[in-house]
């Protein structure tokens, strides 16, 4: 993998680590919070701007006892300061009665800020297999 | 709207006109067919590369008698040669028994090629309202 691709891949991994942590402080560090960021969770409407995006994460984190991601089929595209990543999120969610699994297809867009790639867009949608 | 935004907005509109035409020749002109393009239809797995993306459009066009889009909530972001657009597709599909309506949230990414913006990514997902 090229070094820029590695940087983007690591940014993408950090996003899923922040998601697994269920810690809004960690998720805060992933996003370009001063940019017009956008986020679509599976089945949800678009959230636009960090305050609305942040609220969506708080809502999800408050209703999740535990979540794990096995991220596969990662494809990275880079053009200038922008990178867009597609991947499959193989998700295991801990709920009262045990565990639930699901497959989500994600488009993640990152904006380069020096050596750091920050998320400006996340679009996740359920895959009906 | 700034002139670059106008160009992107028009490219986005042309995509939906091509979709409504159910004509693969028109869809062909929208996409950056020599780039590693990607496409996710609602509930589908990722299609990667123009041959696989093209096949998905042929499949959809062959199974659709008629389709109309009322595209709303268009938001356009531009950085360098890349533009990403979010919008809501208010879709009316003609089927045997009449008409069906649905709401799809789309992320569309366009790459600038001179004065032309060509699609490199389409991700559509159903909105559960």
Average pLDDT over residues A15-31: 98
Say yes or no to pLDDT of A128 above 90: no
Q: Which chain A residue lies closest to B127 (C-alpha atoms)?
A: A43
Q: What is the pTM of this model?
A: 0.96
Per-residue pLDDT of A39-81, as tens digits, reads 999 999 999 999 999 999 999 999 999 999 999 999 999 999 9
d(CA B84, CA B119): 10
Burial class (CB in 10 A: 0-12, 13-18, 19+), A52: middle
**Closest to A85 in 3D by CA, of A76, A94, A93:** A76
Given CB atoms, is A37 within the 8 Å cutoff of chain B? no
d(CA A36, CA A28): 14
Burial class (CB in 10 A: 0-12, 13-18, 19+), A63: exposed
**Residue B55: both structure tokens together:** 């096949």
Please indicate whether, in this complex, the C-beta atoms of B40 and A125 are within 8 angstroms of each other.
Answer: yes
Please indicate whether, in this complex, the C-beta atoms of A123 and B125 are within 8 angstroms of each other.
Answer: yes
Count H helices and E strands in chain B, helices first.
3, 6
* Residue-by-residue pLDDT tens, chain B, 129 positions: 789 999 999 999 999 999 999 999 999 999 999 999 999 999 999 999 999 999 999 999 999 999 999 999 999 999 999 999 999 999 999 877 789 999 999 999 999 998 899 999 999 999 987
Name the residue facing B121 among A84, A120, A128 (closest C-beta).
Answer: A84
Please indicate whether, in this complex, the C-beta atoms of B46 and A105 are within 8 angstroms of each other.
Answer: yes
Name the residue facing B77 among A36, A81, A125 (closest C-beta).
Answer: A36
According to DSSP, the β-strands at B38-40 and B116-126 are: parallel
Contacts of A88 (CB under 8 A, 6+ apart): A71, A72, A73, A103, A104, A105, A106, A127, B46
ipTM of this complex prediction, to 2 decimal places: 0.94
Name the residue facing B127 among A43, A82, A129 (closest C-beta).
Answer: A43
């Amino acid at each position: 993998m090229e070094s820029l691709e590695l940087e983007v891949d690591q940014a993408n991994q950090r996003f899923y680590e922040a998601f697994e942590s269920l810690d809004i402080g960690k998720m805060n560090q992933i996003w370009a919070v001063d940019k017009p960021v956008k986020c679509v969770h599976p089945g949800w409407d678009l959230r636009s701007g960090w305050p609305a995006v942040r609220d969506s994460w708080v809502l999800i984190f408050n209703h999740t006892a535990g979540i794990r991601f096995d991220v596969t089929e990662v494809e990275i595209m880079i053009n200038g300061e922008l990178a867009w990543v597609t991947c499959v999120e193989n998700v295991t969610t801990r709920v009262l009665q045990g565990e639930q699994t699901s497959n989500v297809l994600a488009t993640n867009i990152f904006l380069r800020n020096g050596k750091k790639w920050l998320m400006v867009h996340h679009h996740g949608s359920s895959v009906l297999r």
